[in-house]
């Protein structure tokens, strides 16, 4: 049930909604936040254009807290996760001097996958679409994990830092190529990686 919000607070500029979100999380009273909102010039402009100049009320704020603010919190969590993963990726990059470039790329790919998966799912308010995205992401995660497993097996067998040919993170070969039909993802052509 995805709906576009069109209430007083939803129509405010993002910068105002972000400040309001921070105020709510900092424990500002509804009365104080409403007074602050109604003093802002760009809020007055929106209210004049869309709501005949009627002020924002505590009821408007209460409704926002139950809906729009919850979406704002999920987006903030996603932003925080992305920031954290980026910092982690930098730390990994600095701490992997003895690993091969492909190992570093695998780490960065996994980091990017986690970031985008989280942001994509959290940002989707429609539960049915969110479920479909989770199903598709789980298939992609299975492919990523299979590639990591093949790489670990190859390293254990050879002591090498290079993934086997034909693995999803390796060089030429068939297993890296996939074909998607509906919700099914499967390897096509070429030799399968052993492991």
User: What pLDDT is recorded for position 185?
Assistant: 45
Query: Helix or strand or coil: residue 29?
Result: coil
Query: Helix or strand or coil: residue 31?
Result: helix
User: What pLDDT is recorded for position 103?
Assistant: 67
Task: State phi, psi for 32 to the nearest 5 degrees.
Answer: -65, -40
pLDDT digits (tens, 9 = 90+) for 62-82: 999 999 999 899 888 878 877
Which of the 8 DSSP states describes residue 193? P
User: What pLDDT is recorded for position 75?
Assistant: 85
Assess whether pLDDT exceeds 80 at residue 136.
Answer: yes
Assess whether pLDDT exceeds 60 at residue 193.
Answer: no
Q: How many helices (H) and strands (E) does the chain have?
A: 7, 2
H/E element, 178: strand 178-181
pLDDT digits (tens, 9 = 90+) for 7-58: 999 999 999 999 999 999 999 999 999 999 999 999 999 999 999 999 999 9
Enter the pTM of the model.
0.51
Query: d(Cα 139, Cα 143) in Å, to the nearest integer?
Result: 6
Query: d(Cα 71, Cα 4) in Å, to the nearest integer?
Result: 12
User: What pLDDT is recorded for position 161?
Assistant: 53
Assess whether pLDDT exceeds 90 at residue 127.
Answer: no
- As a whole number of Å, the CA-based R_g of the chain is 24
């Amino acid at each position: 049930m995805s709906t576009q919000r069109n209430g007083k607070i939803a129509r405010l500029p993002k910068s105002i909604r972000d400040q309001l979100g921070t105020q709510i999380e900092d424990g500002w009273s509804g009365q104080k936040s409403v007074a602050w909102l109604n003093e802002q010039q760009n809020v007055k402009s929106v209210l004049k254009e869309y709501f005949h100049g009627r002020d924002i009320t505590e009821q408007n704020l209460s409704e926002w807290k139950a809906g729009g603010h919850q979406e704002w919190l999920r987006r903030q969590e996603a932003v925080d996760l992305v920031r954290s993963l980026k910092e982690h990726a930098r730390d990994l990059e600095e701490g992997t001097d003895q690993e091969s470039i492909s190992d570093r790329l695998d780490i960065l790919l996994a980091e990017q996958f986690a970031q985008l998966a989280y942001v994509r799912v959290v940002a989707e308010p429609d539960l049915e679409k969110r479920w479909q995205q989770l199903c598709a992401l789980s298939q992609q995660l299975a492919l990523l994990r299979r590639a990591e497993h093949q790489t670990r097996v190859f390293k254990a067998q050879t002591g090498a830092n290079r993934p086997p040919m034909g693995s999803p993170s390796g060089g030429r070969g068939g297993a890296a190529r996939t074909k998607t039909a509906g919700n099914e993802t499967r390897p096509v052509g070429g030799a399968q990686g052993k492991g």
